[in-house]
């Protein structure tokens, strides 16, 4: 008679941990009410989230109206495409960087100025007043340098999701993808990516690969990379690497109601706006990016010339949610339709 009881207890415990879920109320509708909250040992007058919502709705500036329409559009797309709502689990929050001193949550997306945003957040959360560009790029990416929301307890997570200003920066999906390809597969120094992904891509998607290519994985073509991405086996095996994973999957914009949807195309303007809301625009400037290695729209179009229309279509479908959620139109260079 003891055995079934134990089994039931084990089952209850498993269920208990499984349902350690995160429930938070839609803070995008209403600013947080708990003002004067102490953060980092000092009282702040007004949190960035409150700063966003204090303006009289009839007197919104053009930039406020633009952000409002970006949020509205995303909300509409979420409603028409998300079949069922689900709850967030800590695993979903690994890309959300926390700044407890200023009340900010930033979802980082690789290839969308994330190094510079991490540098800025290191300056904001660190003790030393520094120029963000003095922080070496590799230092900004060391795990553990910045805290992520997944490291907090459920109640701490909920409190932060409710009261902090949540923001993300996005980019035209194929421009981001070509930028990731160029950076990870065409630069000779990225040997870790060549070994980890390049060898696998060549083995699976190149007929008659030479032994050297199979060994080094350093000459993956863009069309081989595309075939790797659209192969259903790739994602069955493991999640995409964050450099080519969709923003939809990295940042969960239909579940986390971002207050600011920043764009790479308006990076300086949107970044300044976030820093202004956080009242730190006098302390830190968002670094202006060097345009020398920028991936341009023309460059992206030339990479797609080698891709058949069938594969273009598969690739578009793969990244479709990122196109729709962030209002990027289907690129004119695509050959299907
Ligand atoms: C969406 O994109 C179109 C075309 O680029 C633009 O005219 C429109 O203002 C955008 N809408 C939002 C909500 O950003």
What H or E segment, with its residue span, contains residue 101? Answer: none
pLDDT at position 185, please?
A: 96
pLDDT at position 71, please?
A: 97
Q: Check residue 41 and give left, alpha or beta (phi > 0: left; psi -120 to 50: alpha).
A: left
pLDDT at position 34, please?
A: 45
97 bridge partner residues: 106, 148
Residue whose CA lies nearest to ligand 1 atom number 3: 327
Q: Residue 72 CA: which ligand 1 atom is closest?
A: 13
pLDDT at position 336, please?
A: 78
Residue whose CA lies nearest to ligand 1 atom number 8: 327
List CB contacts of 16: < 8 A, sequence separation 6 or more: none
**What's the 134 CA to ligand 1 centre distance in angstroms?**
36
Q: Residue 327 CA: which ligand 1 atom is closest?
A: 1
Give Cα 151 distance to the centre of its chain.
Answer: 17
Judge whether 82 and 91 are in contact, CB under 8 Å.
no
pLDDT at position 31, please?
A: 47
Domain boundaries, the chain: 41-172+247-293, 174-243+299-325
pLDDT at position 33, please?
A: 44
What token pair was written down for 191?
Answer: 């040997």
Tell whether ligand 1 has an atom less than 6 A from the beta carbon of residue 327: yes
Q: Residue-wise pLDDT tens for the chain (337 aa)? A: 445 555 665 555 544 444 455 656 544 444 444 444 444 444 457 889 988 887 777 888 899 999 999 999 999 999 998 767 788 999 999 999 999 999 999 999 999 999 999 999 999 998 766 789 989 888 888 888 899 999 999 999 999 999 999 999 999 999 999 999 999 999 999 999 999 999 999 999 999 999 999 999 999 999 999 999 999 999 999 999 999 999 999 999 999 999 999 999 999 999 999 999 999 988 899 998 766 567 788 899 999 998 999 999 999 999 999 999 999 999 999 987 6
| SS (HEC) of 259-282 | CEEEEHHHHHHHHHHHHHHCCCCC
**What's the 327 CA to ligand 1 centre distance in angstroms?**
6
Tell whether ligand 1 has an atom less than 6 A from the beta carbon of residue 75: no
**What's the 78 CA to ligand 1 centre distance in angstroms?**
17
Q: Residue 70 CA: which ligand 1 atom is closest?
A: 13
Under DSSP, is residue 229 helix (H, G, I), strand (E, B) or coil?
Answer: helix
pLDDT at position 295, please?
A: 76
pLDDT at position 40, please?
A: 47
**What's the 261 CA to ligand 1 centre distance in angstroms?**
13
What H or E segment, with its residue span, contains residue 72? Answer: helix 62-81
pTM: predicted TM-score of the whole model, two decimal places: 0.86
Greatest Cα-to-Cα distance within the chain, rounded to the nearest angstrom: 74
Residue whose CA lies nearest to ligand 1 atom number 1: 327
pLDDT at position 9, please?
A: 56
């Amino acid at each position: 008679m003891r055995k079934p009881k134990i089994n039931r207890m084990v089952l209850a415990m498993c269920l208990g941990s499984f349902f350690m879920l995160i429930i938070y109320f839609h803070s995008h509708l209403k600013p947080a009410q708990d003002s004067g909250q102490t953060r980092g040992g000092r009282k702040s007058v007004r949190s960035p989230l409150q700063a966003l919502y204090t303006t009289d709705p009839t007197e919104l500036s053009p930039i406020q109206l633009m952000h409002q329409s970006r949020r509205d559009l995303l909300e509409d797309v979420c409603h028409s495409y998300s079949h069922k709502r689900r709850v967030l689990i800590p695993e979903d929050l690994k890309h959300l960087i926390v700044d407890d001193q200023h009340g900010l949550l930033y979802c980082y997306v690789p290839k969308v100025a994330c190094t510079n945003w991490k540098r800025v957040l290191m300056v904001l959360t660190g003790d030393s007043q520094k120029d963000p560009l003095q922080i070496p790029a590799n230092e900004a990416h060391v795990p553990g340098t910045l805290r992520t929301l997944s490291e907090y307890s459920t109640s701490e997570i909920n409190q932060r999701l409710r009261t902090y200003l949540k923001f993300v920066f996005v980019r035209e999906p194929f421009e981001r993808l070509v930028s990731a390809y160029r950076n990870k597969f065409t630069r000779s120094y990225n040997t870790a990516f060549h070994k980890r992904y390049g060898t696998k891509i060549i083995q699976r998607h190149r007929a008659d690969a030479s032994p050297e290519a199979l060994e080094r994985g350093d000459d993956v073509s863009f069309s081989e990379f595309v075939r790797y991405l659209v192969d259903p086996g790739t994602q069955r095996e493991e999640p995409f690497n964050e450099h080519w994973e969709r923003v939809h999957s990295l940042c969960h914009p239909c579940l986390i109601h971002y207050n600011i949807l920043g764009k790479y195309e308006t990076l300086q303007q949107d970044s300044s706006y976030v820093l202004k809301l956080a009242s730190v625009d006098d302390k830190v400037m968002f670094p202006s990016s060097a345009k020398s290695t920028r991936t341009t729209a023309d460059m992206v179009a030339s990479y797609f010339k080698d891709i058949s229309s069938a594969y273009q279509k598969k690739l578009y479908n793969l990244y479709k949610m990122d196109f729709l959620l962030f209002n990027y139109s289907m690129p004119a260079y695509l050959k299907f339709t």
